[in-house]
């Protein structure tokens, strides 16, 4: 997590932004991950996963998943500093660790987790 901040996240996500997108910085924890750093963009229709390079300065791979295809959600808020979200999509397992607070990102992480909890997990 080298110098991650709102300005960098906005720059990386600008080409992928759509209406009502929530954004967060996450750590992929599944075998098919293209890197160990990702930015998740989520709205009521789709999830976009932007895999980042080692320095979190460039998007190296993009995956777009329709929300309707996400199955077997598991969301663990836990009491620690991070939440875990896992799901299946088209026979592939996905898992992300999402820090609840990254100070340079302000409320971005918590807004994403609240949206995930209210609109995706419990709908």
CATH number, residue 66: 2.30.29.30
* pTM of the shown model: 0.93
Report yes or no on 1 lying in a domain. Answer: no
Please provide residue 4's backbone torsions phi and psi, each rounded to the nearest 5 degrees: -80, 130
Q: In what order do the strands lie in the sheet with 92-99?
A: 59-66, 46-52, 38-42, 22-28, 92-99, 82-89, 70-76
Q: What does DSSP say about strands 70-76 and 82-89: parallel, antiparallel, or unpaired? A: antiparallel
* Confidence (pLDDT) at 2: 58
Range of the domain at 77: 6-121
* Confidence (pLDDT) at 41: 98
Name the domain count of the chain.
1
Count of beta carbons in the 10 Å neighbourhood of residue 33? 18
Q: What is the mean pLDDT of the chain?
A: 92
Q: CA dihedral defined by 17, 10, 44, 98, rounded to 10 degrees?
A: 150
Q: What is the pLDDT of residues 34-59, one digit of tens each?
A: 999 999 999 999 999 999 999 889 99
């Amino acid at each position: 997590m080298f110098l991650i901040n709102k300005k960098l996240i906005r720059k990386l996500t600008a080409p992928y932004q759509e209406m009502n997108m929530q954004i967060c910085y996450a750590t992929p924890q599944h075998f098919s991950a293209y890197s160990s750093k990702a930015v998740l963009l989520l709205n009521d229709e789709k999830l976009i996963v932007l895999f980042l390079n080692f320095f979190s300065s460039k998007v190296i791979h993009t995956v777009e998943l329709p929300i309707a295809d996400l199955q077997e959600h598991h969301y663990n808020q836990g009491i620690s500093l991070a939440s875990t979200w896992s799901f299946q999509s088209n026979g592939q397992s996905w898992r992300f660790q999402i820090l609840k607070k990254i100070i340079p990102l302000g409320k971005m992480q918590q807004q994403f987790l609240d949206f995930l909890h209210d609109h995706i997990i419990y709908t």
